[in-house]
Structure formats: C-alpha cells, structure tokens
Amino acid sequence: MHLLLMNSGLHFATLALLCFLLSTMGGQANTELPDVLRGSYKGSFAYKTISERMPVILTKVIDLFHREKINIGNQYGDAAKEKLKQINGSLSELKSTMQRNKPLQPLAGAAADVPLWNRLLEEQWVDGEPPVWFDAPWLFVECYMYRRVREILENSGELRDYDYFGQQKRDTLEASIAAIELLGEHLLETVADPAALSGQQVKRAFSDFIGMSLWANKNDLSISAGAHVSQEASPLVQLVELNHRVLVNDSEQVFAQLRRLRDKRDVRIDIVMDNAGFELFSDLCLADLLTSLGIAQRMSLHIKAHPWYVSDTTPADVRHTLQHMQSADGKPALRRLAERWQGYLDAGTWVFEMDTFWTSPLPFSRMASEAPELYAHLQAANLIIFKGDLNYRKLLGDRNWPHSTGFCASLEGFHPAPLVALRTMKADLVSGLAPEREALTAGDPNWMVSGEWALIQLCECSDTARGGDEL
C-alpha cells in the first residue's frame, strides 16, 4: 500500500485491481489498512456511543414495554403480556453486559442470519479471548446490540413482529407532515410537464431533490435518542441555508451520469435507504423525479427487514407512510402522490427489497464474498444511491482513513456499479475530503458527528473514472 500511496496518478481501475491482488496475498496488505473504529479509544465518538448513547436506546425500549403493557395485553393477548417480564429481563441483562464490558454472546434461534452472526462473532476472538463491547469494532458491537434486541423479540413468540421503534417513527412522520406537504406540492409542480423543462430546470430539480434527500437525513432518532425534531419551515428554504455545509459536492458528476442514463433503455436506479419519516418521503420524491423524467424505468429501494438503528425504514413503515398520505385530509398533493407511488409499486416499476446483509455488521467490501447474490443484483443497477451515515460507515469499512484518501480507494474494491453517497456526518470518519474543504469546519469541534455537515460523493468505478480518485 505504501507504493500506492506515493503513486498519485494511478488509475482507479488499476488501483482496484492492485488492492484486490494485495488483499489476496495474505496478511501483509491488511495490516497496512487503517484500523477500524473501536470503543477502546477513550474520547472517541465510538466510546461515547457505546458508553452513553447505546444504553439510552436500550433504556427507552425497556421503558416502552413497561409503558405499553396494557395496550400490548389488549392487542396481543395475556400470553404476550406475560412475556413482557421475560423481555424486560433479557433487555436489562443485555444493557448490563454492555455497561460492564462483558463478552458478546452468540445468538440463538432459528432466524436465517443466526449462523452468519455466530461465525462473525467467532472471527472477533483475539488470542483465545471473546470480543467485549468496548474492544471489538464499534460497527460490529452497535449492529450486534440492535440484532440482540431483535433476537429477544423474535424468540418471544407472540411479539415477534412488534416494532419497538414504530411509535417514534410514526411520531416524526406526523411532526414533519407540513414540510412533507410543501415538498410534495413542489414535486408535483416540477414534474407536471416534464417535456417542457429546459436542461437548466432539470438540473435545478435534481439539485433540489438530491439536496432534500441528503438533508432529510440530518435528524435521525438514534442520534437524538428520540428527542423530537420537526420540520416546520419550508424545506426548500432550509436547503439554501444548508448548502454551504456540503463539504464534498460531486453533483456535477452525478448530473453527468444521469444525462448519460437518459439515453439508455431499461435503466435501473437503486436507493439503499436509511430512515423512515421525512427522509423516506424525500427519498421517494427523488425516486419520483427520476421516474417522471424518464431517466429510470425501474427503482429498487432497499430497506431493512426488521427494526434497526431506531429510525431505519421497514416494510411496515412504508405501508404506514403511504396510508398516512392517502388519509391526509385536506392534503390533495399527498393523496395524489400516494396513489401514483402505489401504482408504481403495483406495476413493479418500484420495488422495495430486503436482504439480511443490510442488518449484518459486515462492511460492504465483503458483500461480494458474503452475499454474492445481492452483489450480483446491485451490479445490474445503473446507479446506486447510498443514504445516510451507517451505509457510509459500511462503505468505508468503518476505518479511520486519512481524510484525504480517495473516496473510491476507501471502498476497498466495493464497486458493483457507479455509486453516490448522500450522508450527513454523524460518525468520526470520512474519505475524499480535501484539506481546504476540511478547513471550512474550523471552529466546529463536533463537525464530524453533529449531522450539521454533509457529503455528496460519487465513485464512478468505470474505466473513465475521473481524476482525484488516487490515494
């Protein structure tokens, strides 16, 4: 890797090949990669997350079951209500092992991903010692916590499909309904007569809706731990104020990609989604724009199969959002959009898809080997949009890359198709950031984790990859 570091003119395709060759040559290459983030670095955001934010999230789930006891009894029956004691015990135990830095236990149960999780846990043993919360990779332990909560419910029988984050997600949808309506109206106006739009207007529309999809990611519930955040001011006005906080803006190259796709047939664009609520709505507006302007004939929308990182979108959230839009009295724009989107879903123009890989702790560089079918499926996309911080962490392998490392290079060979990351920054890692851009954050000590700064980063991963992808 040292050789590559000095060879700044190296073409990306060659670089990817060399990275691949090095990584197949045994241990040497790996020891040269920057370490993954871990809670063992005191003062790191990983340490703060595991010691402060994660216990709060567990406490809130415990409190929810206590508070909802009667409702759950009414809805799911007395047997389910009886199970709540056991659920409380298991959740409390999980929280206590985390806070006392005890070993991570294997998963149990019949779920399809249990063997994978237990194999990955075994991988984390070091010198005959099992992994513990504050020493194992942060990405691993954080995913593990959400997977263990899921396990506790999964194995409870009656409550296996109960979404313990559902109410919070529904509340934020409700709280942002005014902004949702404004954005929906703006979308309908924009695509009312696609043929009449000038090239400049199309570009402006993409800039607006990419910006909305990006900034809608700012307020997620795992960061605010559920404190209410609403979207009241016009979202498009907010956008203008937020624009100077986009540290990397590859929009021009993204537009060029979209222009190229316009002349192709059977284009499929994928969105690997993040949160429900205002973000899901904004993402679907972007999907609508791509569909209405005839750029994409199909959209694959990748969501989580079960509750994840508090606010992540599940199939139930999609159903709830469409129903909520349809039943919104006095909001004709939302009803119209809900009908149109349901039509796209019925026709297979849009497809929501799930894969256990998205709720695994694996970095995307391991997708080709660990989830080859998913990787092959993504290879058939013409463009993939990765939303949010967790997807970004997985793109970068959650490694502590020097910030100016090329974005493509930090993907460690993950390039199923041209891909763009839309991310507000909520974890202390980044790549592809030039020092003069980083300088803009001077004076904001929390710039990497506050969600106030953002990135629009493209990796074209083709033979025509632009310059700047060198390490």
CB of 307 to Mg ion, least distance (A): 11
CB of 320 to ligand NAG, least distance (A): 28
Cα angle at 270 between 226 and 390, to 5 degrees? 35
Q: CB-based burial of residue 437 (10 Å sphere; 0-12 exposed, 13-18 middle, 19+ buried)?
A: middle
Specify the DSSP class assigned to residue 36.
B
Helices (H) and strands (E) counted in the chain, each on its own, are 21, 7
* CB < 8 Å & 24+ apart, contacts of 436-443: 437/247, 437/248, 438/247, 438/403, 440/244, 440/247, 441/247
C-beta separation of 386 from 419 below 8 A: yes
Contact with Mg ion (CB under 5 A) among 151, 274, 283, 355: 274
Taking the C-alpha atoms of residue 360 and residue 150, their distance in angstroms, rounded to an integer, is 12
Q: Does 92 bind ligand NAG (CB under 6 A)?
A: yes
CB of 91 to ligand NAG, least distance (A): 8
The region of 82-90, 260-268, 288-296, 388-396 touching ligand NAG under the rule CB under 6 A is 82-90
Q: Does 457 bind ligand NAG (CB under 6 A)?
A: no
Q: Which of residues 44-73 bind ligand NAG (CB under 6 A)?
A: 66
Widest pairwise Cα distance in the chain: 68
Tell me which H or E stretch contains 286. Answer: helix 278-292
Q: Does 309 bind Mg ion (CB under 5 A)?
A: yes
Q: Does 252 bind ligand NAG (CB under 6 A)?
A: yes
Residue 213 contact among Mg ion, ligand NAG, none, beta carbon within 5 to 8 Å by kind:
none
Q: Which of residues 108-127 bind Mg ion (CB under 5 A)?
A: none
Residue 405 contact among ligand NAG, Mg ion, none, beta carbon within 5 to 8 Å by kind:
none
CB of 377 to ligand NAG, least distance (A): 30
Strands (E), 181-275: 246-249, 268-272
User: What is the per-residue binding string for ligand NAG in 280-319, x denoting contact by CB under 6 A?
Assistant: ----------------------------------------
Q: Does 317 bind Mg ion (CB under 5 A)?
A: no
- Residues binding ligand NAG (CB under 6 A): 66, 85, 88-89, 92, 207, 211, 243, 246, 249, 251-252
